[in-house]
Amino acid sequence: MTEVKDLGVLMQGNEACAAGALAAGAKFFAGYPITPSTEVAEILAAELPKVGGKFIQMEDEIAGMAAVIGASLAGLKSITATSGPGFSLKQENLGFAIMTEVPCVVLNVQRGGPSTGVPTAPAQGDVMQARWGTHGDHPIITLAPASVKETFEATVKAFNLSEKFRIPVILLMDEVIGHMRERVQLPRAEEIEVVERKKPDVGPESYYAYKDDETGVPPMANFGDGYRYHVTGLVHDETGFPSNNPERIKKFLDRLHNKLADNADEIIMVDETEMEDAEIVIFAYGSVGRSAKKAVKELRKKGIKAGLFRPITIWPFPVERLKQRLGGVKALVVPEMNMGQLVGEVERVAAGKVPVIPLNRYDGELITPAEIVAKVQEVL
């Protein structure tokens, strides 16, 4: 595997993800190989033992997600990687991790679906599954990088957000980002911010695993450090034991959501290009964001005031950031490699004040800059 160092290196997106996980302090991986995410498992199988970590190939994706939760409860920063049908299998345990506030990172390198679909072709069909795949009203953080270097950065960020807010973070890539290679210059280890989870400052006899310390994120003790507490997928009180008390249920669910809502500025990341005077805004993410950036350059050459709004954080959706950019905008064009998913969120923000035009492709091919340029010219 390519080492993280200050010289430029040719690196694959999946390699960058594995390197980012190691840089963030990951010490555990459990999963099941599946295209197009397998390289992450292969690399971490070789590299984790060198840093005192553990790698386990599980019997299936369900067990992989369960093992990651267990390792995190024991104090190890943990990650699993999957794609398509594997992401579907992880949903129940993903919900368990959200409910029990267990930090972990779930990488989904998207491919065509439904079911086993198109294993080696890009798609963005899991966007809404990343938000609502597991049941119930739950919060989630999902990051969608658009380059190899950004994949490294987003992976580190995913671990940091997960540990800080005690929540699973989904790293939502696609086959293009996972498999393409770019020359990148990664930061030195000492330049990388690494966040550790907040530990209790009281002894085991006074510790409550789900007691709010007024930050919305309770300190988390490691299993095996002398602290004993109950972990359940049922709604629970500060002791961890189930509760049917309506007041406690509401209070608990409000805290789960508010710990993200109250820190949206720290969680939400957006990359903007030529947005200052943009009359046509292209809203794109992941690999399509790259095509959109090229399209903006081509449109500007033609005298069209186009701009790119590219969310790196797609969940929570950047509602306020997008609202702030709609003044003077004549149309929003939303290219996606699906039949139309995140475009619905854009329409909710636009609220009928700005026309929203989708551009969809779901045949296993990347949307090209020329297709985006043609759509914009069609709109004008």
What tens digit of pLDDT does each residue of 160-185 get? 999 999 999 999 999 999 999 999 99
pLDDT-based confidence at residue 1 (cuts at 50, 70, 90): low
User: Which residue, 56, 119, 39, is CA-closest to 85?
Assistant: 119
Cα(341)–Cα(329) distance, integer angstroms: 22
3-state SS, residue 126: coil
Neighbours of 77 (CB within 10 A): 25
What tens digit of pLDDT does each residue of 277-309 get? 999 999 999 999 999 999 999 999 999 999 999
pLDDT score of 3 = 54
Q: What is the DSSP string of 154-183?
A: HHHHHHHHHHHHTSEEEEEEEHHHHH-EEE
Q: Which two three-digit tokens encode residue 132?
A: 């609502």
Classify the phi-psi angles of 51: left when phi > 0, otherwise alpha if psi is within -120 to 50, otherwise beta.
Answer: alpha
- Element at 282 (helix H, strand E): strand 280-283
pLDDT score of 90 = 98
Residue 196 sits at φ, ψ, to 5 deg, of -105, 150
Residue 133 has what DSSP assignment? S
pLDDT-based confidence at residue 120 (cuts at 50, 70, 90): confident
Beta pairing class for 181-184 and 9-12:
antiparallel
User: Which residue, 149, 146, 24, is CA-closest to 79?
Assistant: 24
Q: Which two three-digit tokens encode residue 282?
A: 């292209």
Q: What is the overall mean pLDDT for the chain? A: 96
Amino acid identity for residue 100 in this structure:
T
Q: Structure pTM?
A: 0.96
State CA 71 to chain mean position distance: 20
What tens digit of pLDDT does each residue of 55-74 get? 999 999 999 999 999 999 99
